[in-house]
């Protein structure tokens, strides 16, 4: 019997990536540079291969909106997040379909505007206490990346779980480092298989997961023993019942707590890291920030910090903590006139779109003023960019549930710390990107503290 012959699929142009070149890019952490090359070759829609997989990069705000809007119903999580299930199980970040919708509806009240207002006090207090807790002193050298991670973990613990996670910061940071290291592997053809082999690195990851499970188990046990606050998201999870009156399975409670613990502090910590670096590199912006903070009330609200808000927005434009989002198509779709077969990966990169001169005048300059209106108010639409040109927290039905939480946390933490401190980078300290699940500074961020 003759075999059917299928005509080759026509695909848009893009930089072809051989296996050896892919390995070199991964070793040198140059995935952001590769996406820059892709959009230069094909500014609207680029095609490239990751081993045997076909990937497509959307390069315009219109296609970003289409990917997260109409095509959202046929898109599932991409390659990197598929692998994080080893750590996060079926938490909000990795779950799909009915389970995701059910859990999102359950957790959403924890991020209601009234709850965010209550969290703001905790955020300001935690940031104000950081210098004394961490031993900050004028002229001291600190790894600001480590300090920001410890701060945001403390905030997540106190706000969402009514727990002090300060002593758990080392274990959480180690687990995140292992998770981010896995991202490089899964981009290599056959790399996902490596993560299932009994290699030393896999055993280290499993050990880190075990430590995190211990932390989460302690939080759950304390809540069940009546030691926790009934108003926390953990209490919501434990009190939840399905339509048959059954409680949420312990494993799913664990997955949601761990997802909120890790995802809830990682992106904000990274946003603050890059913000400190950008302020050091742009003294005029730092001076204007300090002037606003000097004139602000003791416990300012977001509306009283328009320039501080603009600084965070501009930092996340240039160094978006979530720098690429992938969707795997579950059906054949059409994008920009091209047929995209089911099973393909479609990527939207904040790193690429946020820095595109087509949508952003003076695109590579740090210009917080672009986010201010003529009368000095912060407005996300002030730059005049088309919708879809700025999406630091994603878009559509799966936009980050904690977006308002993260904005409030980042702005208030920066305000509390920059009021009294102006860190500068240690001379010669290397700055390089680590584009994994999030965009981290590869070598940390060693800075000299200067008390104002």
Q: What is the mean pLDDT of the chain?
A: 88
Confidence band of 362 (pLDDT split at 50, 70, 90): very high
Q: Comparing 326 with 451, which gets the higher pLDDT?
A: 451
d(CA 311, CA 293): 12
Mean pLDDT is lowest, of 48-52, 143-147, 264-268, 361-365, for 48-52
- Least confident piece of the model among 168-172, 204-208, 381-385: 204-208
> What was the pLDDT predicted at 221?
87
Number of domains in the chain: 1
Nearest to 249 by CA among 35, 70, 91: 91
pLDDT above 90 (res 26): no
What pLDDT shows up at residue 23? 63
Position 1 in a domain = no
In a domain, residue 393? The reply is yes
Q: What is the pLDDT of residue 47?
A: 94
pLDDT over 80 (residue 189): no
What mean pLDDT comes out for the span 258-269?
88
Decide if pLDDT at 88 tops 90. no
The reply to whether 4 falls in a domain is no
Question: Over 103-122, what HEC string results?
Answer: HHHHHHHHHCHHHHHHHHHH
pTM of the model: 0.91
Compute how many other C-beta atoms are within 10 angstroms of the C-beta atom of residue 74: 15
How large is the average pLDDT for residues 292-311? 97
Does residue 251 form part of some domain?
Answer: yes
Tokens found for residue 330? 């579950």
Would you state the pLDDT for residue 192? 52
Cα separation values, 273 from 44, 185, 326, 330, Å: 31, 25, 24, 37
In a domain, 242, yes or no: yes
Q: Which domain holds residue 310?
A: 19-448
Cα–Cα distances (Å) from 87 to 95, 160, 185, in that order, read: 12, 20, 15
Considering the domain boundaries, does residue 5 fall inside one? no
Instruction: Quote the distance between the C-alpha of residue 53 and its chain's center.
Output: 25
pLDDT for position 34: 86
Residue found by looking up tokens 């898109």 in the block: 75
Give pLDDT tens digits for 314-338.
999 999 999 999 999 999 999 999 9
Question: Of the ranges 13-27, 67-81, 363-377, which one carries the lowest mean pLDDT score?
Answer: 13-27
CA distances from 148 to 255, 271, 353, 409, 429 (A): 24, 9, 26, 11, 18
Looking at residue 169, which CATH number applies to its domain?
1.10.630.10
Mean of pLDDT values over 113-136? 96
**What percent of the chain is helix, strand and coil (3-state, nearest 5)?**
55, 10, 35
**Is the pLDDT at 15 greater than 90, yes or no?**
no
Residue range 371-424, pLDDT digits in tens: 999 999 999 999 999 999 999 999 998 899 999 999 999 999 999 999 999 999
Higher pLDDT, 420 or 221: 420
In this predicted structure, what is the pLDDT of residue 222?
A: 86
Find the mean pLDDT for residues 151-156: 94
- Using pLDDT thresholds of 50, 70 and 90, give the confidence band for residue 262: confident
Give 1's pLDDT tier (boundaries 50, 70, 90): very low
**pLDDT over 60 (residue 273):** yes
Mean pLDDT, range 183-208, rounded to an integer: 60
Please check whether residue 241 lies inside any domain of the structure. Answer: yes
Q: Indicate if the pLDDT at residue 7 is higher than 70.
A: no
Residue 21: the pLDDT is 66
Higher pLDDT, 184 or 346: 346
Least confident of 28-42, 175-189, 351-365: 175-189
Rounded to whole angstroms, the Cα distance separating 195 from 191 reads: 7
Helices first, then strands: H and E counts in the chain = 16, 12
User: How far is Cα 8 from Cα 14, in angstroms, rounded to an integer?
Assistant: 17
pLDDT at 252 over 80: yes
pLDDT over 70 percentage in the chain: 86
The stretch 231-237 carries a mean pLDDT of 86
- The pLDDT of residue 136 is 98
Degrees to nearest 5, angle at CA 404 with 304 and 274: 80
pLDDT in tens, 137-151: 999 999 999 999 999
One DSSP character per residue, 141-197 reads: EEEHHHHHHHHHHHHHHHHHSS---GGGHHHHHHHHHHHHHHHHHHTSTTHHHHTTS
Give φ, ψ of 232 to 5 degrees. Answer: -85, 165
């Amino acid at each position: 019997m003759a075999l059917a012959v299928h005509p080759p699929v026509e695909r848009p142009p893009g930089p072809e990536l051989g296996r050896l070149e892919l390995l070199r890019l991964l070793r040198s952490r140059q995935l952001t540079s590769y996406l820059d090359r892709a959009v230069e070759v094909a500014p609207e829609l680029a095609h490239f291969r990751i081993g045997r997989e076909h990937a497509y990069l959307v390069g315009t705000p219109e296609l970003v909106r289409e990917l997260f809007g109409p095509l959202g119903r046929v898109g599932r999580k991409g390659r990197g997040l598929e692998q994080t299930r080893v750590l996060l199980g079926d938490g909000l970040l990795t779950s799909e379909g009915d389970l995701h919708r059910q859990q999102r509806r359950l957790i959403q009240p924890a991020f209601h505007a009234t709850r965010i207002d209550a969290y703001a006090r905790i955020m300001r207090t935690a940031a104000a206490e950081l210098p004394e807790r961490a031993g900050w002193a004028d002229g001291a050298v600190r790894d600001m990346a480590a300090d920001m991670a410890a701060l945001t973990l403390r905030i997540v613990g106190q706000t969402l779980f009514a727990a002090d996670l300060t002593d758990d910061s080392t274990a959480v940071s180690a687990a995140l480092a292992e998770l981010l290291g896995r991202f490089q592997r899964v981009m290599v053809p056959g790399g996902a298989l490596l993560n299932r082999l009994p290699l030393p690195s896999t055993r280290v990851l499993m050990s880190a997961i075990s430590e995190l499970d211990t932390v989460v188990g302690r939080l759950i046990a304390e809540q069940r023993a009546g030691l926790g606050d009934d108003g926390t998201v953990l209490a919501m999870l434990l009190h939840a019942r399905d339509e048959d009156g059954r409680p949420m399975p312990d494993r799913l409670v664990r997955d949601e707590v761990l997802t909120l613990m890790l995802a809830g502090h990682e992106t904000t910590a990274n946003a603050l890291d890059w913000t400190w670096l950008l302020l050091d590199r742009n003294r005029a912006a730092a001076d204007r920030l300090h002037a606003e903070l000097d004139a602000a009330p003791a416990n300012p609200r977001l509306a009283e910090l328009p320039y501080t808000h603009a600084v965070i927005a501009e930092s996340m434009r240039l160094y978006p903590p979530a720098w690429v989002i992938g969707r795997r198509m579950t059906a054949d779709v059409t994008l920009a006139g091209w047929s995209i077969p089911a099973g393909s990966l479609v990527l939207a990169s904040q790193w690429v779109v946020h820095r595109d001169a087509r949508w952003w005048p003076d695109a590579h300059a740090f210009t917080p003023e672009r986010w201010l209106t003529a009368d000095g108010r912060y407005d996300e639409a002030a730059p005049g960019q088309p919708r879809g040109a700025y999406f630091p927290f994603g878009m559509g039905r799966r936009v980050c549930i904690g977006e308002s939480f993260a904005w409030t946390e980042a702005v208030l933490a920066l305000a509390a710390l920059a009021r009294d401190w102006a860190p500068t980078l240690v001379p010669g300290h290397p700055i390089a990107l680590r584009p994994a699940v999030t965009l981290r500074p590869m070598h940390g961020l060693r800075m000299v503290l200067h008390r104002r």
